[in-house]
Amino acid sequence: MKHVAGYLLCVLGGNESPSAADVTKALSSVGIEADADALGRLISDMEGKDIGELLETGKGMLAKFGGGGGGGGGGGGGGGGDAAEEEEEKVEEEEMEAPAVDMFGGDDGGDY
């Protein structure tokens, strides 16, 4: 994939028929080492072919696969769970209404 990406970047940069050296230079400029065998196969496969035609052909092939999302998963069934939730909420409210206590242990009833 990295070789194809490097090849396409060279084409986008104006080089209609990049050589292995061109792709290697593009990849090495971002710290990626090219595999000479794989790159050689790519260059020989691309020789004499128009990249625009190849992309259109590939686009047509991908259309056969479809591309729409399958939709999200179904929501969980939610019947009858509301009563238990209401009870839990009431318990929380009761716990929150605890009487205020003096932080320093005094019982004089003053604010501070």
Q: How many CB atoms lie within 10 A of CB 63?
A: 9
H helices of 2-48, in order, are 2-12, 20-28, 36-46
Q: Record the pTM.
A: 0.54
Residue pair 46/8 in contact (Cβ under 8 Å)? The answer is no
- pLDDT single digits (tens) 11-38: 999 998 999 999 999 999 999 999 999 9
pLDDT at 87: 63
Distance separating alpha carbons of residues 55 and 57, to the nearest angstrom: 5
Distance separating alpha carbons of residues 18 and 40, to the nearest angstrom: 12
Q: Report residue 62's pLDDT band, with 50, 70 and 90 as the boundaries.
A: confident
Residue type, 76: G
Calculate the CA dihedral of residues 50, 53, 55, 57 and round it to 10 degrees. -140
